[in-house]
Structure 1
């Protein structure tokens, strides 16, 4: 028995290579660049044209550099996989056949580049690019900064630091429904008065309270649809990974920057197409 056990211990176990995918990272990236639009949309949540234009812009501005181990296109593809599917670096390692340390390094390299990108793409929209209906809504609610119920972005903050992030300053407020109390920072509609957009399809708003509620509901609908597209594109915003708070903040900025880039460039995008179609349906029903 002793000899048998000793022989078992002495047998060498063959080492299996970690990164043994059929397609190495550079080949997979090439497939994304030259393959179908559907594959890009499924894997990175943007069209192939948008991906190529984004990579070209980053190379042109020098925000991300290629290296002997990874191209700009591959680094950006890894980054988009993370924010689109909330993938962990171990999964990126297996897909692109780089070490976990390299995946981490490239992610933060692209994230830093995204902060420079954001300075150009996240800017106030001129009035000429806003519809008349939206301009009217913004005049009625100049202090609105968002809407509650499903539109906020998830973040992980230590309990002893959470108080400092509550509140958004004077004269700023969230739009919310009648389930909330109408207090500082929260603007609710009039109670016991028509509110939902479907309530006004058969008869227009008559009283000042109904007119206020109708405008409140329309702006809240616009905000919720905008956040809905953003969070549908980038799953990481629904359940943020436990990065440092500064990294979480930068990830949100990066997601909005890519989102704005697609919209401002008027690039083909199935998520925006669905949103625009829904917007037309709401407008037709008013």
Structure 2
């Protein structure tokens, strides 16, 4: 045989043998990695077992213990927590997947929003990868959002028992269906947007408008506006939207002095004592307008109690967030939805007691031209309520 042909044949055989060996080694490596029959490294097995034990102990301590522990960690009692998980599971909004139960997914989400924890902290507490925490957080966030229409609903047009049961408000404010206020939530935005998000606060915020009924439940939430936006402007935007914010004919909301006195919205008298802290047993109202403002404030404080409960329960709304702004807006809505869900099971210790609650002293506000938008009919109605209230005050009633 020709020596050159012999060398060529040997080279081909060597190349074929190399391909076979590489293929064999690759296959063995894949089998070792993915074949369930191949025993993993003993150390890896021990670490996985320890993580699972730690996770189960953590979960049992959180929601299989007491309501006190559950509120401390998840910001709600066991009954609303398990009912929420059951609702998600039955509707297919959150499913048990990849060894992570619905309860664990919801617990991770509540741990983030309740304590403003970063994903890396939840990763350590629950022994899950950051990618797993991120995925399930957004899945639960979506699931909560799906409950919006059934949990954030317009208030009943009938007079609330809170009003009918009090001489201070009945019959003067019998047409009131709730209260409206704006609240600032700390925001994280790009540097070039921060100026627009700085209003009265030092840090960037989003200005959120909320409407609350006298059961302390949110009946409307509009999030996403810049912190520099005026409350009256956000209310005007809410009225123009097609998402269901309307005021029934003849009814009205209580608003603060930053809003105009217009049909459907009743503010206090400007330049007159208003906040509960300005009155007392030795500092009673001296005229009709002061009495009206005092009773207006004592009823409108409901919205401040609801906002206080919301921020006390979900610390992510009262601290600088770690999420994109679009997610921050969704979180305001989600926390409001969860607030209403929790109140469906009764008031807990996170909600401020009405007795002794004087509300928050507001900063002086520019009316932003709101006085020029005032309705003479609504102003006349306010004057009429004020005068009747003063005439029927009695000798010792405030």
> TM-score, normalization: structure 2?
0.55
Q: Which residue of 2 aligns with 1:222?
A: 302
* Between structures 1 and 2, the one with greater helix share: 1
Q: Which residue of 2 aligns with 1:131?
A: 162
Does structure 2 conserve the Cα–Cα contact (< 8 Å) formed by 1:195 and 1:214? yes
Does structure 2 conserve the Cα–Cα contact (< 8 Å) formed by 1:121 and 1:261? yes
Greater relative contact order (Cα 8 A, min sep 6): structure 1 or 2?
A: 1
With over 3 angstroms needed to count, the CA separation of the structure-2 counterparts of 1:170 and 1:256, relative to structure 1, is closer
Q: Which residue of 1 aligns with 2:234?
A: 168
Q: Which residue of 2 aligns with 1:4?
A: none
> TM-score, normalization: structure 1?
0.74
- Residue among 188, 193, 196 paired with 1:156: 188
Q: Which residue of 1 aligns with 2:98?
A: 68
Secondary structure of 2:188 counterpart: coil
Secondary structure of 1:152 counterpart: strand
Secondary structure of 1:262 counterpart: helix
* Between structures 1 and 2, the one with greater strand share: 2
Deviations 1:222-267 (A, max 9, x none): 222111111110000002414222211111111111110111232x
Does structure 2 conserve the Cα–Cα contact (< 8 Å) formed by 1:25 and 1:74? no
Secondary structure of 2:319 counterpart: coil
Of 121-130 and 51-60, deviating more is 121-130
Does structure 1 conserve the Cα–Cα contact (< 8 Å) formed by 2:109 and 2:137? yes
Secondary structure of 2:180 counterpart: strand
Deviation at 1:49, TM superposition (A): 1.6
Q: Structure 2 regions of 5+ residues with no counterpart?
A: 1-42, 198-224, 240-253, 359-396
Does structure 2 conserve the Cα–Cα contact (< 8 Å) formed by 1:189 and 1:216? no
Q: Which residue of 2 aligns with 1:7?
A: none
Deviation at 1:128, TM superposition (A): 6.0
With over 3 angstroms needed to count, the CA separation of the structure-2 counterparts of 1:253 and 1:18, relative to structure 1, is farther
Larger Rg: 2
RMSD across aligned positions (CA): 3.9
Q: Which residue of 2 aligns with 1:6?
A: none
Map of 1:64-143 to 2, 5 A cutoff?
A: 64-126=94-156, 127=158, 131-132=162-163, 139=175
Q: Structure 1 regions of 5+ residues with no counterpart?
A: 1-13
Q: How many corresponding residue pairs?
A: 258
- Residue among 350, 362, 372 paired with 1:271: 350
CA distance in 2, matches of 1:244, 1:71: 27
